[in-house]
Amino acid sequence: MKLFLAVILGGIVGYERQHKSRPAGLRTHILVCIGACLVQIISLDFSIINKGTEVDPMRLGAQVISGIGFLGAGTIIKEGASIKGLTTAASLWTVACIGLATGSGLYMQSILATFFIYIALKGFKLIEDKIGYDKREVSFEVVIDDDLGKIGFIGTNLGKLNVNISNIEINKKDEHIIIELNLKSPKNISNERIIKAFSDIPGIKRVSLL
């Protein structure tokens, strides 16, 4: 019964991810939930069989929670300024927790958690989009003289345009520093205005859109 419930609950979350064509879909979520559930069943049954000895039934479950990270990391993809797969990675981790709860016999908690996870994935996306509707993501490569102090000027000039730096990568090449910037810019700020903000800084050699 526990394993069957793990299939159903993991499948509900997996269905939503499959519907969005995410890297980890229906089968992956079901397998994670079944596996976590089975681990917890083994832990509890082993502790019952070996009653009287010092056995921690939560030890294997703790390994599932920490170990599921490698699978979640495999679903995260970086595309230019965007990082995709974080939500799917989080859903895999929570599905593992649902499996552990189901294996422990906490059926109501498992069902409620699945319900809330599904609502968060399905319903909160609309709220999330509304919050970030006025921002767009854009990436630039900036070549400057070998002077890291210029980065402060870059941040200041972008701040005047209400442009935020979401990620920065710095590499040195010969006498120059190459900076890759992932920016979150208001939709009314054009790429030309951002390039102008860079060009106003002394020591900037080249600015290009990625």
> What is residue 81's predicted lDDT score, i.e. its pLDDT?
45
Whole-number average pLDDT of the chain: 82
pLDDT tens per residue across span 58-100: 888 888 888 887 777 777 765 544 566 778 888 889 999 999 9
CA-closest candidate to residue 106, choices 64, 69, 58, 72: 58
103 conformational bin, left if phi > 0, alpha if psi -120 to 50, beta if neither: alpha
> What is residue 202's predicted lDDT score, i.e. its pLDDT?
80
Structural domains present in the chain: 2-130 (no CATH), 135-209 (3.30.70.260)
Beta carbons within 8 Å of 57's beta carbon, 6+ residues apart? 40, 43, 44, 46, 47
Whole-number percent of the chain with pLDDT over 70: 88
Query: 32-46, 94-108, 188-202: which has the minimum mean pLDDT?
Result: 188-202
The strand pairing partners of 140, in sequence order, are 181, 209
What percent helix, strand, coil does the chain show, rounded to 5?
55, 20, 25
Beta carbons within 8 Å of 175's beta carbon, 6+ residues apart? 145, 146
> What is residue 151's predicted lDDT score, i.e. its pLDDT?
73
> What is residue 19's predicted lDDT score, i.e. its pLDDT?
78
> What is residue 82's predicted lDDT score, i.e. its pLDDT?
52
Beta carbons within 8 Å of 83's beta carbon, 6+ residues apart? 76, 77
> What is residue 7's predicted lDDT score, i.e. its pLDDT?
93
pLDDT tens per residue across span 9-58: 999 988 888 877 776 788 889 989 999 999 999 888 888 877 766 777 78
Backbone angles phi, psi at 150, to 5 degrees: -65, -25
What are the structure tokens assigned to 48, written together? 């019952």
pLDDT level of residue 149 (50, 70, 90 thresholds): low
> What is residue 133's predicted lDDT score, i.e. its pLDDT?
53
pTM of the model: 0.58
Half-sphere exposure of 46 (CA within 13 A, CB side): 15
Query: 77-91, 131-145, 150-164, 174-188: which has the minimum mean pLDDT?
Result: 77-91
> What is residue 9's predicted lDDT score, i.e. its pLDDT?
92
Whole-number percent of the chain with pLDDT over 90: 21
